[in-house]
């Protein structure tokens, strides 16, 4: 009988699996705590379980964990992890300290299919989706390695891949991460970023366990955006904004629009004016991200004066705006810089 990958199961699913083996459901909660709170991957270490239970579980389940292939530390304290999965594929994950909270940036795919022209991950193409266990496995490794297993931290799905293109695995990972018996990351501390897959955004609006949503807008007009984000041809700006507007009112103020500033492309005063008009009737935050240059990306970072003027133009029109501070640029760990060599 093939072993079941325990890390792919939410706690209710694990309880059902234990019940089918004739084990009490509370034993599943014990195992869940061992794996996520204590970082245990070996059933022999789970000493609160009887020895007979441990032998049975070791025969029926496995606990797979990504291995660390490389770990780089930036001068600003940011750490980038190159993690190897069970099939040898690799993804990058990032630990960002003092943001002001500790933050883990996780990947949801090996590569990405969205083709955004300013993003290094897009040059990989899509290799494959990650499973829920592989997504959460990144959090388990980073939390263990940075001594966060007993601390509160944030999670952003802004690493490699488009999270909502891998919807089911991403949301299963959110439910596992948020479970109070495990890492207990409150959904308000989890942010899922998307380039604007409208059907998935609408599906997300109905989720019981719903993270914060960040929409990668990057331009105020369809003509501009289609040159930067090819999927805009299928899901234009009006449809994306409309999907955000249809979010439940209590959750609508948890939406962020992300906007990568590219010199001479989308950073003019007129661009700021059009962007402000686009979001004026939504209670959202605009997160400005000055481009993090990388070899092979045909754009430049605007000057600090240009960035400041753009932000002031938005704020002057009543838009809540924040300029994201780039972290980890010296180890290629900043936004849009994650990529691994194709195998």
> Domain check: are 163 and 304 in the same one?
yes
Type and span of the H or E element at 192? strand 190-194
pLDDT at position 182 is 95
40 three-class SS: coil
> Domain check: are 25 and 110 in the same one?
no
Separation of CA 306 from chain center: 29
> Domain check: are 222 and 285 in the same one?
yes
Q: Is the pLDDT score of 311 beyond 60?
A: yes
Report CA torsion sign: 317, 319, 325, 331: negative
pLDDT at position 337 is 47
> Domain check: are 294 and 194 in the same one?
yes
pLDDT at position 340 is 58
Residue 151 maps to a domain: yes
Write out the residue range of the structural domain in which residue 257 sits: 67-331
Is 92 catalytic? The answer is yes
> Domain check: are 240 and 298 in the same one?
yes
Residue 205 maps to a domain: yes
Which residue out of 8, 15, 92, 134 is catalytically annotated? 92
> Domain check: are 75 and 185 in the same one?
yes
> Domain check: are 112 and 141 in the same one?
yes
- Based on its alpha-carbon atoms, the radius of gyration of the chain, rounded to whole angstroms, reads 21
> Domain check: are 245 and 283 in the same one?
yes
Q: Which CATH number fits the domain that encloses residue 11?
A: 1.10.150.530
Residue that terminates a domain, selected from 62, 84, 103 = 62
Tens-digit pLDDT profile for residues 201-244: 999 999 999 999 999 999 999 999 999 999 999 999 999 999 99
Query: Both tokens of residue 197?
Result: 């897959």
Distant-in-sequence, close-in-space partners of 55: CB < 8 Å, separation ≥ 6: 43
Section 256-284 average pLDDT: 94
Query: Both tokens of residue 167?
Result: 């919807």
> Domain check: are 58 and 198 in the same one?
no
The DSSP-derived string for 193-256 is: EES--HHHHHHHTT-SS--EEEEE---SSHHHHHHH-GGGGTS-HHHHHHHHHTS-HHHHTTEE
pLDDT at position 293 is 82
> Domain check: are 168 and 104 in the same one?
yes
Is 105 catalytic? The answer is no
Separation of CA 100 from chain center: 18
Residue that terminates a domain, selected from 41, 62, 83 = 62
Q: Work out how many domains the chain is built from and give that number.
A: 2
Q: Which CATH number fits the domain that encloses residue 84?
A: 3.20.20.70
CB 289 within 8 A of CB 257: no
């Amino acid at each position: 009988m093939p072993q079941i990958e325990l890390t792919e199961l939410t706690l209710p699913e694990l309880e059902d699996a234990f019940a089918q083996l004739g084990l009490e459901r509370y034993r599943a909660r014990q195992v869940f705590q061992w794996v996520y709170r204590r970082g245990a991957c070996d059933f022999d270490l789970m000493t609160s379980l009887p020895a007979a239970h441990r032998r049975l579980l070791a025969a029926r389940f496995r606990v797979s964990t990504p291995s660390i292939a490389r770990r780089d530390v930036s001068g600003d304290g940011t750490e980038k992890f190159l993690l190897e999965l069970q099939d040898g594929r690799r993804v990058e994950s990032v630990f960002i300290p003092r943001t002001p909270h500790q933050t883990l940036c996780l990947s949801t795919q090996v590569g990405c299919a969205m083709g955004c022209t300013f993003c290094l991950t897009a040059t990989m193409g899509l290799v494959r989706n990650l499973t829920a266990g592989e997504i959460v496995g990144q959090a388990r490794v980073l939390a263990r390695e940075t001594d966060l297993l007993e601390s509160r931290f944030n999670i952003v799905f802004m690493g490699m891949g488009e999270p909502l293109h891998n919807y089911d695995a991403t949301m299963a990972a959110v439910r596992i991460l948020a479970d109070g018996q495990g890492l207990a990351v409150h959904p308000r501390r989890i942010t899922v970023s998307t380039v604007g897959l409208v059907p998935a955004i609408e599906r997300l609006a109905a989720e019981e366990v719903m993270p914060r949503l960040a929409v990668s807008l990057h331009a105020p007009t369809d003509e501009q955006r289609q040159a930067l984000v090819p999927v805009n041809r299928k899901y234009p700006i009006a449809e994306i904004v409309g999907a955000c507007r249809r979010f439940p009112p209590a959750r609508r103020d948890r939406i962020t629009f992300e906007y990568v500033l590219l010199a001479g492309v989308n950073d003019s005063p007129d661009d700021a004016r059009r962007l402000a008009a686009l979001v004026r009737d939504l209670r959202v935050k605009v997160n400005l991200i000055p481009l993090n240059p990388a070899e092979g990306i045909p754009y430049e970072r605007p000057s600090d004066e240009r960035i400041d003027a753009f932000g002031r133009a938005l704020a002057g029109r009543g838009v809540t705006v924040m300029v994201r501070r780039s972290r980890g640029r010296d180890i290629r760990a900043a936004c849009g810089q994650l990529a691994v060599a194709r195998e």
